[in-house]
Amino acid sequence: MNAILEMRSITKTFPGVKALRDVNLVVKQGEIHAICGENGAGKSTLMKVLSGVYPFGSYEGEIVYEGETRRFDRIADSEHVGIIIIHQELALVPLLSIAENIFLGNEPAKFGVINWSQAYNRAKALLKKVGLKEPPTALITNLGIGKQQLVEIAKALAKQVKLLILDEPTASLNEADSDALLKLLVEFRNQGITSILISHKLNELAKVADSITVLRDGTTVETIDCHSEKISEGRIIKSMVGREMSDRYPQRQPKIGETLFEIKKWRVEHPIHAGREVIKSVDLHVNRGEIVGIAGLMGAGRTELAMSVFGRAYGRNVRGEAFMDGAAIDISSIQKAVAVGVAYVTEDRKTLGLVLNEDIKNNVTLANLPAVAWRGVIDDAREQQVANRYRTSLKIRSSGIFQRALNLSGGNQQKVVLSKWLFAQPKVLILDEPTRGIDVGAKYEIYTIINELADAGKGVIMISSEMPELLGICDRIYVMNEGRFVDEMPAAGATQEKIMASIMREYGTVQ
Amino acid sequence: MKHEATPLPGSEEAEARAAVWSSSLRDYGLLFSLLVIMGFFYFLTNGVSIAPLNLTNLILQNSYVVIMALGMLLIIVSGNIDLSVGSIVGFVGGVAATMMVGFHMPILDVDVKTSWEVAVLVSLVLGALIGCMQGYFVAYARIPAFIVTLGGMLIFRGLTGNLLLGQFVGPFPREFQDISAGFLPELTNIPALHALIGDSHFRYGTMAIGILAVAIMILSGLRRWQRARAEAMDVEPFALFAGRTAIFSALVLFFSYQLAQWKGLPEVLIIMLVLILIYAFVTTRMTVGRRIYALGGNRLAAQLSGIRTERLIFLTFVNMGVLAGLAGLIVAARLNSATPSAGLSFELDVIAACFIGGASASGGVGKVMGVVIGAFVMGVMNNGMSIYGLGIYWQQVVKGIVLLAAVFIDIYQKNKG
Ligand SMILES: Nc1ncnc2c1ncn2[C@@H]1O[C@H](COP(=O)(O)OP(=O)(O)OP(=O)(O)O)[C@@H](O)[C@H]1O
Ligand SMILES: [Mg+2]
Of the pLDDT bands very low, low, confident and very high (cuts 50, 70, 90), residue B199 is low
Testing ligand 1's pocket by substitution, the residue of A36, A44, A216 carrying the most ligand atoms inside 8 A of its CB is: A44
Query: Which chain B residue shows the shortest CA-CA distance from A38?
Result: B6
Cβ-contact A153, A187 below 8 angstroms: no
Residues 6 or more apart in contact with residue B416 via CB below 8 angstroms:
none
Ligand nearest to the CA of A415: 1
Q: How far apart are CA A90 and CA A110, in angstroms?
A: 29
Residue B356, domain member (yes or no): yes
Average pLDDT over residues A466-480: 92
Of the pLDDT bands very low, low, confident and very high (cuts 50, 70, 90), residue B128 is very high
Query: Which chain B residue shows the shortest CA-CA distance from A353?
Result: B301
Query: Which chain A residue shows the shortest CA-CA distance from B300?
Result: A352
More confident residue, A383 or B226: A383
Of the pLDDT bands very low, low, confident and very high (cuts 50, 70, 90), residue B23 is low
CA-only gyration radius of chain B, Å: 23
- Name the phi and psi angles at B19, rounded to 5: -65, -45
- pLDDT over threshold 50, residue B1: no
Ligand 1 pocket list (CB less than 6 A): A 14, 17, 19, 37, 39-45, 88, 397-398, 407-412; B 9
ipTM of this complex prediction, to 2 decimal places:
0.82
Of the pLDDT bands very low, low, confident and very high (cuts 50, 70, 90), residue A511 is very low
Cβ-contact B121, B301 below 8 angstroms: no
Residue B136, domain member (yes or no): yes
Cβ-contact B105, B112 below 8 angstroms: yes
CA of B197 to the centre of ligand 1 (A): 66
Taking the CA of residue A413 as reference, the ligand 1 atom at the shortest distance is 26
Please give the share of chain B, as a percent, with pLDDT higher than 70.
Answer: 88
A 20-49 → B contacts, CB under 8 A? 21, 40-42
Which of A95, A99, A93, A103 has its CA nearest to residue A137? A99
Q: How far apart are CA B75 and CA B81, in angstroms?
A: 6
Query: Which chain A residue shows the shortest CA-CA distance from B1?
Result: A245
Of the pLDDT bands very low, low, confident and very high (cuts 50, 70, 90), residue A421 is very high
Query: Ligand 1 atom 8: the closest Cα is on which residue?
Result: A407
Residues, Cβ < 5 Å to ion ligand 2: A 44, 88, 410
Instruction: Please check whether residue A420 touches B, CB under 8 A.
Output: yes
- What is the crossing angle of helices B116-135 and B309-335, to 10°? 140
**What is the per-residue pLDDT across B201-214, written as a single tens digit (0 to 9) for each?**
778 888 888 899 89
State which residues form the domain around B32. 21-182+266-416
Q: How far apart are CA A390 and CA A385, in angstroms?
A: 9
Which of B165, B163, B182, B164 has its CA nearest to residue B173? B182
More confident residue, A156 or B134: B134
Q: What is the pLDDT of residue A316?
A: 86
Query: Ligand 1 atom 22: the closest Cα is on which residue?
Result: A44
- What is the crossing angle of helices B267-285 and B52-77, to 10°? 30
Judged by DSSP in three states, A175 sits in: helix
Q: Which of B9, B12, B287 sits opposite A217 (nearest CB)?
A: B9
Instruction: Please check whether residue B299 touches A, CB under 8 A.
Output: no
Q: For strand A277-287 and strand A259-269, is the pairing parallel, antiparallel, or unpaired?
A: antiparallel
**What is the per-residue pLDDT across A279-300, written as a single tens digit (0 to 9) for each?**
999 999 999 999 999 998 777 8
Of the pLDDT bands very low, low, confident and very high (cuts 50, 70, 90), residue A409 is confident
- pLDDT over threshold 90, residue B316: yes
Could you write out the three-class secondary structure of B108-133?
CCEEECCCHHHHHHHHHHHHHHHHHH
Taking the CA of residue A42 as reference, the ligand 1 atom at the shortest distance is 18
Instruction: Please check whether residue B413 touches A, CB under 8 A.
Output: no
Ligand nearest to the CA of A20: 1
Other beta carbons less than 10 A from residue A336's beta carbon? 15
Chain B residues closer than 8 Å to A354 by CB: 298, 301
Q: Terminal CA-to-CA distance of chain A, rounded, Å?
A: 41
Q: Where are the beta strands (DSSP E) in A226-298?
A: 259-269, 277-287, 291-296
∠ CA A407-A350-A322 to the nearest 5 degrees?
140
pTM of the model: 0.85
Q: What is the pLDDT of residue B32?
A: 82
Instruction: Please check whether residue B411 touches A, CB under 8 A.
Output: no
Please give the share of chain A, as a percent, with pLDDT higher than 70.
Answer: 99
Beta bridge partners of A481: A484
Cβ-contact A491, A454 below 8 angstroms: no
Average pLDDT over residues A79-83: 91
Chain A residues closer than 8 Å to B6 by CB: 217, 395, 397
Residue B252, domain member (yes or no): no
Q: Do A377 and B286 touch (CB under 8 A)?
A: yes
- pLDDT over threshold 60, residue B7: no
**What is the per-residue pLDDT across B170-194, written as a single tens digit (0 to 9) for each?**
899 999 998 888 888 776 666 666 6
Query: Between A and B, how many CB-CB pairs are < 8 A?
Result: 136
Asked whether the domain spanning A255-341+426-511 has the same topology as the one spanning A3-241, the reply is: yes
Q: How far apart are CA A165 and CA A42, in angstroms?
A: 15
Q: How far apart are CA B331 and CA A369, in angstroms?
A: 39
Q: Do B1 and A313 touch (CB under 8 A)?
A: no
Instruction: Please check whether residue B8 touches A, CB under 8 A.
Output: yes
Instruction: Please check whether residue A370 touches B, CB under 8 A.
Output: yes
Instruction: Please check whether residue A351 touches B, CB under 8 A.
Output: yes
Give CA A143 to chain center in angstroms. Answer: 17
Cβ-contact B232, A400 below 8 angstroms: yes
Instruction: Please check whether residue B290 touches A, CB under 8 A.
Output: yes
Q: What is the pLDDT of residue B148?
A: 97
Q: How far apart are CA A453 and CA A460, in angstroms?
A: 8
Q: What is the pLDDT of residue A307?
A: 93
More confident residue, B271 or B247: B271
Could you write out the three-class secondary structure of A23-83?
EEEEEECCCEEEEEECCCCCHHHHHHHHHCCCCCCCCEEEEEECCEEECCCCHHHHHHCCE
Runs of H (alpha helix) within A64-201: 75-80, 98-102, 116-130, 145-158, 175-190
Q: What is the pLDDT of residue B380?
A: 92
Q: In this structure, is the dihedral angle defined by the CA atoms of residues B35, B41, B42 and B48, taken in order, positive or negative?
A: negative
Which of A149, A253, A129 has its CA nearest to residue A190? A129
Average pLDDT over residues A84-106: 84
Q: How far apart are CA B36 and CA B28, in angstroms?
A: 12
Cβ-contact A63, A7 below 8 angstroms: yes
> A133 CA to chain B: closest CA distance, Å?
32
Q: What is the pLDDT of residue B308?
A: 93
What is the pLDDT of chain A when averaged over all its residues? 89
Amino acid A251 reads: Q
Q: What is the pLDDT of residue B5?
A: 38
Containing H/E element for A490? strand A484-490
Q: Terminal CA-to-CA distance of chain B, rounded, Å?
A: 40
Q: What is the pLDDT of residue A507?
A: 64
CA of A241 to the centre of ligand 1 (A): 17
Q: Where are the domains of chain A?
A: 3-241, 255-341+426-511
Dihedral in degrees, nearest 10, Cα atoms B178, B182, B185, B189: -90
Ligand nearest to the CA of A46: 1
Is the preceding omega at residue A55 within 30 degrees of 0, hence cis?
A: no
Query: Which chain A residue shows the shortest CA-CA distance from B233?
Result: A400
CATH superfamily membership of A3-241: P-loop containing nucleotide triphosphate hydrolases (3.40.50.300)
Query: Ligand 1 atom 19: the closest Cα is on which residue?
Result: A40
**What is the per-residue pLDDT across B247-257, written as a single tens digit (0 to 9) for each?**
889 988 998 89
Q: How many domains, in total, are found in chain B? A: 1
Cβ-contact A218, B10 below 8 angstroms: yes
Testing ligand 1's pocket by substitution, the residue of A20, A215, A407 carrying the most ligand atoms inside 8 A of its CB is: A407
Residue B150, domain member (yes or no): yes
Right CATH number for A255-341+426-511 from 1.10.357.10, 3.40.50.300, 3.30.360.10, 3.40.50.720?
3.40.50.300
Beta bridge partners of A11: A60
Q: What is the pLDDT of residue B416?
A: 61
Q: Do A17 and B3 touch (CB under 8 A)?
A: no
Dihedral in degrees, nearest 10, Cα atoms B197, B198, B203, B207: -10
- Name the phi and psi angles at A372, rounded to 5: -115, 15
Q: How far apart are CA A86 and CA A197, in angstroms?
A: 10
Q: What is the pLDDT of residue A90?
A: 72
Of the pLDDT bands very low, low, confident and very high (cuts 50, 70, 90), residue B392 is confident
Cβ-contact A458, A288 below 8 angstroms: yes
Q: In this structure, is the dihedral angle defined by the CA atoms of residues B80, B27, A365 and A363, taken in order, positive or negative?
A: positive
CA of A470 to the centre of ligand 1 (A): 28
Q: Which of A18, A356, A378 sits opposite B12 (nearest CB)?
A: A18
Q: How far apart are CA A365 and CA B13, in angstroms?
A: 28
